[in-house]
Structure 1
Amino acid sequence: MCEILDRIENRGKKEGIRMGREMEQEHISKLIVLLSHDGSLQEIEKIGEDPAYCQQLLQKYNLI
């Protein structure tokens, strides 16, 4: 019985991770579009190099 519950739990974790990655990708894509509309091409390059800066901009643009 515990083995079945472990499998179900693991499936749920994998699905949650997959969904989280999809949401993150959507947020970053939206951020890139917003930055390109603002003409901030240097910012787009920087978010690819600095994950912490990317998080700051995601918050600034209310995407997370």
Structure 2
Amino acid sequence: MLNCKPNDLGLILLPEARGEPDTLLRTAFEARERAYAMWCQASEASAVNDACPVAPSRASRA
């Protein structure tokens, strides 16, 4: 699994994860897995950026 964390069992427990390679169900699972990994990376990056914003927010300028 991409970027698998020990507590990240939600997707790998689905029946699609154990499906045959190159089937539509398995392909859909892999696409969802990639999207979830990208979402996790983006949310981690935004959490870091929120802690140290590069530019001041509009609220802080008011």
| TM-score, scaled to structure 1 | 0.49
Q: Deviations over 1:33-60 (max 9, x none)?
A: 112xx7x3x26x6xxxxxxxxxxxxxxx
**What amino acid maps onto 1:28 in structure 2?**
S
Structure with greater proportional helix content: 1
* 2:37 paired with 1:12: no
Q: Sequence identity, in percent?
A: 5
- Cα-Cα RMSD: 2.5
Query: Residue in 1 aligned with 2:7?
Result: none
Q: Write the distance in 2 (CA, Å) between the matches of 1:25 and 1:16.
A: 14
Work out the number of aligned pairs and report it. Answer: 38
Q: Write the distance in 2 (CA, Å) between the matches of 1:32 and 1:13.
A: 28
Q: Write the distance in 1 (CA, Å) between the matches of 2:50 and 2:31.
A: 29
CA apart distance, 1:19: 0.8
Q: Write the distance in 2 (CA, Å) between the matches of 1:10 and 1:16.
A: 10
Gaps of 5+ in 2: 1-21
* 2:39 paired with 1:21: yes
CA apart distance, 1:16: 0.6
| TM-score, scaled to structure 2 | 0.50
